């Protein structure tokens, strides 16, 4: 625990049903790996989030924000301080051709709402298990589309509780990047997405095709965090990992998928350390064989396995 754990009691007293002490983060990320958070808090409204921020800022407690945990490797000793998970902020409003979605709305649900309203633009997102905030921050994308094609503006809160709107230019989108990615002082609350009217059957056909493609090429249903490495400019990371002979390779319970070599599956009780050793082996071999430096697409949180760095 961090030295002054008074903050945890304060938050727990205010919001007992939404605050969990020494909570295993493996239950909150899609990889099902990782040690505990000193305190995990899941606010159900923005004013509630603001109250919690006031407590921790005053006490200088380290803060980590997570969304739906679909891009995270949490290290084995967990995360110190307060982890705020925003998956309970789930308001969604359709206004003409726009959708206003709160941080925790999942992309598959958002795509379904778009379909029901005959709005096109979110088809690419149908199989991405992200929250809206995480998707904007990482500029999540697939099938030639990404969040940058539809985001109009994003509402953020800073650590003093002040709310502001960032417009498209402020977000500086790039491949799986945005200006929000390493700005730990902003919490994303919601995003306004601009879509276009289209025939519902056309939107549905596209979504079905994209889901079928995923079923054919990815280990759907397994505990993963999606692609582990970003695609280098030379081509698909999975192609080079497969050619380096890693399909099916395992360290402990961490195994390279035989369906898609850029996915590492937790087959049971994998540790973050196992994943890091496997990632390190893959990086070295791909560099040795092809001269390519693979960069992490997943983000690493917390403490433990420090010898492997980030
Ligand atoms: C099976 C599977 C398939 C996937 N397919 C794709 C794909 O096709 N394309 C793709 O791009 N990605 C894919 N991913 C990866 C993942 O879904 C994306 O990276 C996604 O953007 C992560 O969103 P999240 O809500 O889970 O964020 P998290 O993983 O919880 O967090 C990601 C980052 O955002 C920060 N963050 C999250 N919410 C907030 C907030 N409200 N305010 C401030 N910071 C915040 C976190 O601190 C962290 O740095 C896949 C993952 C899985 C498991």
pLDDT (tens digit per residue) in 22-81: 999 999 999 999 999 999 999 999 999 999 999 998 888 999 999 999 999 999 999 999
- Number of domains comprising the chain: 3
The answer to whether residues 73 and 121 belong to one domain is no
Is the model more confident about 144 or about 308? 144
pLDDT of residue 59: 83
Structure-block tokens of residue 224: 């993963």
The answer to whether residues 246 and 177 belong to one domain is no
Mutual orientation of helices 6-14 and 46-59 as an angle, nearest 10°?
160
Question: Given 67, 85, 103, which residue is the final one in a domain?
Answer: 85
The answer to whether residues 237 and 266 belong to one domain is yes
Residue nearest to atom 6 of ligand 1 (CA): 128
Nearest atom (ligand 1) to Cα of 297? 19
What band does 307 get if pLDDT is binned at 50, 70 and 90? very low
pLDDT of residue 5: 64
- How are beta strands 72-74 and 299-301 bridged, if at all? parallel
pLDDT in tens, 153-175: 999 999 999 999 999 999 999 99
The answer to whether residues 144 and 80 belong to one domain is no
CB of 34 sitting under 6 A from ligand 1 = no
The answer to whether residues 127 and 177 belong to one domain is yes
Q: What angle do CA 240, 135, 126 make, to 5 degrees?
A: 80
pLDDT of residue 23: 98
Helix (H) / strand (E) containing 57: helix 46-59
The answer to whether residue 82 scores a pLDDT higher than 60 is yes
Distance 6 CA to ligand 1 centre (A): 31
pLDDT of residue 4: 54
Q: What is the mean pLDDT of the chain?
A: 95
- Whether the CB-CB separation of 35 and 74 falls below 8 Å is answered with yes
Considering the domain boundaries, does residue 153 fall inside one? Answer: yes
Would the CA dihedral through 190, 191, 192, 195 be positive or negative?
A: negative
Query: Residue 307 gets which letter from DSSP?
Result: G
pLDDT of residue 184: 78
What range defines the domain where residue 280 resides? 219-308
Nearest atom (ligand 1) to Cα of 186? 43
pLDDT in tens, 207-220: 999 999 999 999 99
The answer to whether residue 309 scores a pLDDT higher than 70 is no
Per DSSP, the residues of 153-165 read: EEEEEETTS-EEE
Section 223-236 average pLDDT: 97
The answer to whether residues 16 and 121 belong to one domain is no
CB of 225 sitting under 6 A from ligand 1 = yes
CB of 37 sitting under 6 A from ligand 1 = no
Q: Which residue has the tokens 């898609």?
A: 260
Tell me the pTM: 0.95
The CATH number for 280's domain is 3.90.78.10
The answer to whether residues 152 and 259 belong to one domain is no
Q: Which residue has the tokens 């350390």?
A: 273
Distance 130 CA to ligand 1 centre (A): 5
Question: Given 200, 216, 232, which residue is the final one in a domain?
Answer: 216
pLDDT of residue 254: 98
What are the residues facing 157 on neighbouring strands?
Answer: 163, 187
* Cβ neighbours, 10 Å, residue 9: 12
The answer to whether residue 225 scores a pLDDT higher than 70 is yes
- Whether the CB-CB separation of 171 and 178 falls below 8 Å is answered with yes
Considering the domain boundaries, does residue 112 fall inside one? Answer: yes
Report CA Rg, the chain: 20
Ramachandran assignment for 273, one of left (phi > 0), alpha (psi -120 to 50 degrees), beta (any other): alpha
Question: Given 216, 251, 271, which residue is the final one in a domain?
Answer: 216
Residue nearest to atom 3 of ligand 1 (CA): 226
Backbone angles phi, psi at 132, to 5 degrees: -60, -45
């Amino acid at each position: 625990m961090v030295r002054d754990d008074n903050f945890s009691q304060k938050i727990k007293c205010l919001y007992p049903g939404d605050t969990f002490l020494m909570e295993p983060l493996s239950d909150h990320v899609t990889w099902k790996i990782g040690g505990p958070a000193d305190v995990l808090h899941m606010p159900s409204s923005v004013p509630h989030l603001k109250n919690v921020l006031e407590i921790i800022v005053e006490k200088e407690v380290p803060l980590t924000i997570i969304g739906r945990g679909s891009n995270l490797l949490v290290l084995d000793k967990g995360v110190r301080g307060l982890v705020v998970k925003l998956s309970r902020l789930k308001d969604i409003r359709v206004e003409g051709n726009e959708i206003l979605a709160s941080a925790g709305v999942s992309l598959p649900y958002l795509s379904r709402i778009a379909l029901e309203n005959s709005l096109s633009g979110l088809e690419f997102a149908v199989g991405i298990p992200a929250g809206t905030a995480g998707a904007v921050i990482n500029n999540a994308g697939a099938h030639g589309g990404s969040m940058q094609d539809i985001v109009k503006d994003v509402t953020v809160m800073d650590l003093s509780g002040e709310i502001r709107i960032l417009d498209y230019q402020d977000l500086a989108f790039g491949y799986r990047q945005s200006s929000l990615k390493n700005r730990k002082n902003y919490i994303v609350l919601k995003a306004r997405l601009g879509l276009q009217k289209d025939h519902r059957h056309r939107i549905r056909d596209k979504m079905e095709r994209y889901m079928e493609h995923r079923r054919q090429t990815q280990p759907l249903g397994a505990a993963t965090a999606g692609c582990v490495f970003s695609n280098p400019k030379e081509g698909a990371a999975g192609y080079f990992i497969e050619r380096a002979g890693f399909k099916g390779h395992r360290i402990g319970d961490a195994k390279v998928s035989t369906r898609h070599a850029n996915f590492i599956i937790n087959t049971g009780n994998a540790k973050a350390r196992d994943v890091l050793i496997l990632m390190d082996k893959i990086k070295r071999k791909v560099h040795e064989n092809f001269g390519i430096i693979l960069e992490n697409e997943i983000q690493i949180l917390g403490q433990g396995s420090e010898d492997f760095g980030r």
